[in-house]
Amino acid sequence: MNAKTDKLVRRTTMVATVTAAYFLLTADYGPEPSVLDPIKNGIHSAERSVKKFFFGPEKEPDKSEAEKLASNGAKDHP
């Protein structure tokens, strides 16, 4: 096999393996605790950290703003 083709096949295989592992580890296996829960929690924690790094911390609406939005929604829909 050509060296460039071999390199492409190896990289494609690695990406496919990592993607499959990610989906298998983060899959929802039901409400019962699983052996993979600590790994799943670690992956989700890393995802939140990366999102926080790139997009900044999530801004929670103030209590007064949330009440205003709720009251406006109640006025619109009787």
Q: List pLDDT tens digits, range 18-60.
A: 999 888 887 877 777 878 788 888 989 999 999 999 988 877 6
Identify the H or E element spanning 54. Answer: helix 37-55
The domain of 55 spans: 3-76
Band of residue 71 on the pLDDT scale cut at 50, 70, 90: low
CA distance 66 to 36: 37
- pLDDT, mean of residues 4-23: 93
- Provide the pLDDT for residue 35: 81
- Provide the pLDDT for residue 36: 79
Q: How many distinct structural domains can be found in the chain?
A: 1
Residue 15 scores a pLDDT above 70: yes
